Amino acid sequence: MANRHSIHHRRPPRLSVFLRMLLLAATTVAWLPGAQSGTGPHELRFHAILPLSIYTVEMPSIVRTLQLLIDDVNSNDNHLPGATLRITFFDTARLMPAVVRDGFVAIDNNTHGVIGEFNSGSSGTLSYVLQQRKIIQCSGASTSTGFTDKKQFPNFWRTIPADDQAGEVMLNYVASMQWKKVVLLASNTVYGQAVADAAVRRATALGVEVSIRAGFTASSIDAPIDYSFVLANVRATRVHIIVFCGTYDEIVPVFMQAIDAGIVGGSYVWVGGEAVKAFPYYLAANRPEVLPMVTGFFSVYPREIAGEMGQQFVQKFTDQHGQPPNDYSGFYYDCLWGMILAFDNMLAQYTIQEIAAQTHPPLNLSTFIPNSFEGVTGHVELNPITYDRLSTYNIFNWGGSADYALVATSDEYGVVHHQAGTAPIFYGGATEVPPDSPMLVARFVRAESGMGIGAIAICGMALGIIVASLAAVLVCREHTVIKSVSALFCGIILVGLGMVLATVYLDLGKPTLRTCVAYIWMLAIGLNLVLSSLAVKLYRVYRIFDNRLMLMNRRFPDSALVRHGGVLVAPTIVLMTIWSAVSPPTPLRTDNIAAGTYSTTCQSDNPLLMHIVVGMLVAYIILLLVGLAVLAFQTRSVWSQYNESRYIGITVYNILFLSVGAVALTYGMAGMDQMAVFRIRTFVILVAAAVTYWCCIGRHLFRLALQALGMSKAQQKKEEEDLNAVRSMMFSSTQMDFASTLSATLLRGRFPLKHPQRITSRWKMHTLTLSSSEPSFMLITPVSTHVGTGILFARPGICSLRAASAADLASHGDGDHEVEDRNDSGTVARSGGGAAAGYARGGGTTGTATRGGGRLANVLEIRFAKQTVWAQMDNVETMNRWIAFWGEAVSEGLDGTPTQGMPSEIQSRMNADMSGTPRVLGQPTFGQPSARMV
């Protein structure tokens, strides 16, 4: 269709009265020289209603073509014998009133058929008029997709394909050239949008990506508007294949501005429909200096001349007029030829007189027009429902010469056939097919790059330290320094750190399915192993030193801690298994056209599942970190060789803050700059691993290394005293063996004890033992089990005995207190009464205590570390005796003579118990005291 942008699709009202009024207002018919009309016998009359005075290139050729066909049929009896064909030409000058007028003239003259119009808008209006008498109409240039609706246009058919076929053919050729990305530049006219719609549908079917569909307002060549904004958007896509959907007078102003925008020439390729084929001819006549920029332009055009019949027509036309027919002549030839064949087929049912007089029933497309026939445009195949032409298209290439070259064809089935020996020419005369977009630069860190080599070297050294540390822990697992922190869990932490560090290697290079899956497993399991090991170790310290449980025996062997750690790791394993089984992460390429880069990230086919699993994993890791932070805070002041809460707290805070910072910095960067993401991830992993290693493993191995290098005994003892103030939580067998090895003055007694700061704490009978020897100690043992709960060394500020203040006693008020005790045979004995001033203690082996009424009094307050215990004494004298005895012991330990450490055998047993190694010790026995005994 030519110049269809200026005539929009209009549908005039069907009211015949209104149409008659337009006819009366119309001008008289303009008859061309040589036009004929008549009403003689056996005459078939045809009207050609066209804008004859507007399209001065196409119209004369079309008129001559139709007259040539009329003359050929009249000159022989091969078709419609005994009939005379007449054709009358009407000039509408592309004016809608003239179109309506000429339509009613055709009705008044009892026309057998109408050829026209040229523009789709005019053809639609003409169809509404001719429907009044069911006159068959055919156009060889109107391509609007609206004519496929046979409820609105039941009498219209065409020999030129519809607009949507042009859009499909352009994408067929794009796909055949292996271009995978295009930009659609479409005018806002009915024609332009129809072509663009078809192109989008075909692109989806062929797997071609439409990067942008840029619409623009149509303007004229003489008064163009500014298209800089639209063209800037096209340029920003960095796609070099531009499919133009519009007409030749629309492409001229756009193309001229596209040159200035930098999207013409170079590797850019423009592809247009049949309506822009005349574009280079216009530039050659009006802007010849711009014509070289058109080199490489493609235009798809319905095949117009084909087969032997087509060649004969061209030859005869050329012989008569000295030049070949122009565009659209062949399509209008087949319009009239198809009607002649249809009337010829009617001779099987009606006589020529009946056909000429139109005494037969009204005509319709389904019974009149043949679905297929041979014409000068080749085999004409019509859709039996829409009566649209299914046509083969030619693909022409402007190679810089004076005319197009046929480089390919696209048949009615969408198959593109490239012309052998005729390669397309692109801008500058190049024959190499340009890419659909510039080569994008990969944005991932290659192993051979400088950044990759640096990451490999640093992580390699870190992993070497991990392996060496693992070997050192294994060799020195019996050393007291390693035993105190559990060699087993040190090994598990080192393995977890190694897994986390190994993810840096998996992050190098372009991701694959294996590296995507391995990365998430290594990172999740490695981090979980570290955190779960720290959690169970810190939980053991918390349980042992929690005030509420200080009078209870708590033993945590490694086997129990491993079970607890396994429980903490299990949720991560379950979540990772579900993720990997249902929708594992796979490599997904993301192109950043604006930046000219691409990156490959690991994404699941099921994004919802991935977000759910990742969210649950992150939430679980945060829960572990928060739990560790709480435990570290709760045990921050515990003073023991076995307390790592401070360093574990540092580790937790380090991981937590680094993780939050990494998430904040890398959020939304996956598709933009993977190299920056790699830097941040690697930095976080290295720093977190380094801090965790030093706090949990490295500092202990450093102490061992210093000892191996010859640290003096005095230095070892000073460091031991600085790091360890309290040896705590020993089993009774160890405590009794320890006490039996000392030739000390002992003070022992049985008293009810309770924790005053806990509401649920109850008075229970315990044996208290004080020693004034070096090292001075206090031993607290439940009388029922002979199991001790603590051994306390006399050091300044660590352990003190004093009378409980009246205010503290008063704060507990009066009440009914019950004392529970067990005799040696295991029988439980309980006694109770009102609040007593003291206890009447029984003798013998039963250890039964009774209490009378009154307020609490004679309560000995024992403070060690941050814990407080009350012991109910018999009287003031007894309480003062214990306070004085302990004061002498402390003084003796602080007289300038260094306090001696525990014997190596006892230290070994204590380390064994704390590390969880099971031990079976005999029932302890006490020797006779060398001094006072209560």
- SS3 per-residue string spanning 364-429: CHHHHCCCEEEECEEEEEECCCCCCEECCEEEEEECCCCCEEEEEEECCCCCEEECCCCCCCCHHH
Residue 224: asked if its preceding bond is cis (omega within 30°), the reply is no
- Residues in the chain with pLDDT < 50? 1-40, 547-554, 639-640, 667-670, 712, 722-744, 785-791, 794, 796, 814-853, 893-934
> Which of 857, 848, 907, 898 has its CA nearest to residue 879?
857
pLDDT for the residue numbered 645 = 65
Residues contacting 48, CB < 8 A, separation 6+: 62, 63, 66, 87, 88, 89, 90, 114, 115, 116
Of 786, 813, 844, the last residue of a domain is 786
Q: Residue 689's domain is classified under what CATH number? A: 1.20.1070.10
Q: How far apart are CA 43 and CA 80, in angstroms?
A: 10
Residues counted in the chain: 934
pLDDT for the residue numbered 785 = 47
Virtual CA dihedral for 920, 925, 929, 930, nearest 10 degrees? -70
Domain membership flag for residue 820: no
pLDDT for the residue numbered 403 = 83
pLDDT digits (tens, 9 = 90+) for 462-505: 999 999 999 999 988 888 778 777 788 889 999 999 999 999 99
For residues 519 and 614, membership in a common domain is answered with yes
pLDDT for the residue numbered 29 = 37
State whether residue 244 is helix, strand or coil: strand
Domain that holds residue 401: 163-304+393-418
Domain membership flag for residue 810: no
pLDDT for the residue numbered 713 = 52
For residues 598 and 698, membership in a common domain is answered with yes
Q: How far apart are CA 881 and CA 98, in angstroms?
A: 131
- How is residue 923 written in tokens? 């029932």
For residues 658 and 520, membership in a common domain is answered with yes
> Which of 293, 263, 288 has its CA nearest to residue 398?
293
Amino acid identity at 212: I
What phi and psi, each to the nearest 5 degrees, are found at residue 254? -65, -45
For residues 526 and 669, membership in a common domain is answered with yes
Measured between alpha carbons, how far is residue 36 from residues 33, 65, 79, 90, 677 in Å? Answer: 9, 15, 20, 11, 81
Domain membership flag for residue 30: no
pLDDT for the residue numbered 863 = 81
> Which of 146, 181, 150 has its CA nearest to residue 164?
146
For residues 579 and 668, membership in a common domain is answered with yes
For residues 614 and 470, membership in a common domain is answered with yes
> Which of 704, 692, 705, 700 has its CA nearest to residue 493?
692
For residues 156 and 167, membership in a common domain is answered with no
181-187, strands of its sheet edge to edge: 209-216, 181-187, 241-245, 269-272, 297-302, 393-398, 404-410, 416-418
> Which of 899, 717, 719, 894 has its CA nearest to residue 796?
894
- How do beta strands 113-116 and 137-139 pair? parallel
- How is residue 392 written in tokens? 């083969």
For residues 153 and 167, membership in a common domain is answered with no
Domain membership flag for residue 598: yes
Q: Residue 95's domain is classified under what CATH number? A: 3.40.50.2300
pLDDT for the residue numbered 33 = 35
Domain membership flag for residue 502: yes
pLDDT for the residue numbered 533 = 87
Phi-psi region of 85 (alpha: psi -120 to 50; beta: other; left: phi over 0): beta
Which parts of 494-622 are beta strand (E)? 586-592, 597-603
For residues 68 and 198, membership in a common domain is answered with no
Measured between alpha carbons, how far is residue 868 from residues 277, 546, 547, 767 in Å? Answer: 99, 12, 8, 16
Domain membership flag for residue 666: yes
Burial class of residue 923 in the structure, from the number of CB atoms within 10 Å of its CB (0-12 exposed, 13-18 middle, 19+ buried): exposed
State whether residue 738 is helix, strand or coil: helix
pLDDT for the residue numbered 416 = 93
For residues 151 and 77, membership in a common domain is answered with yes
Q: What is the enclosing helix (H) or strand (E) of 822?
A: strand 817-822
Contact assessment for residue 400 and residue 392, using Cβ atoms and an 8 Å cutoff:
no
pLDDT for the residue numbered 737 = 44
Domain membership flag for residue 51: yes
- Domains in the chain, number: 4
DSSP string, 460-524: HHHHHHHHHHHHHHHHTTTSHHHHTT-HHHHHHHHHHHHHHHHHHHHTSSS--HHHHHHHHHHHH
pLDDT digits (tens, 9 = 90+) for 675-712: 888 888 888 889 889 988 988 888 888 888 887 776 54
Of 731, 761, 786, the last residue of a domain is 786
Residues contacting 386, CB < 8 A, separation 6+: 147, 148, 150
For residues 470 and 501, membership in a common domain is answered with yes
Q: How far apart are CA 452 and CA 133, in angstroms?
A: 81
Domain membership flag for residue 104: yes
CA atoms within 13 A on the CB side of 557: 6
What phi and psi, each to the nearest 5 degrees, are found at residue 663? -60, -45
For residues 237 and 114, membership in a common domain is answered with no
Residues contacting 13, CB < 8 A, separation 6+: 19
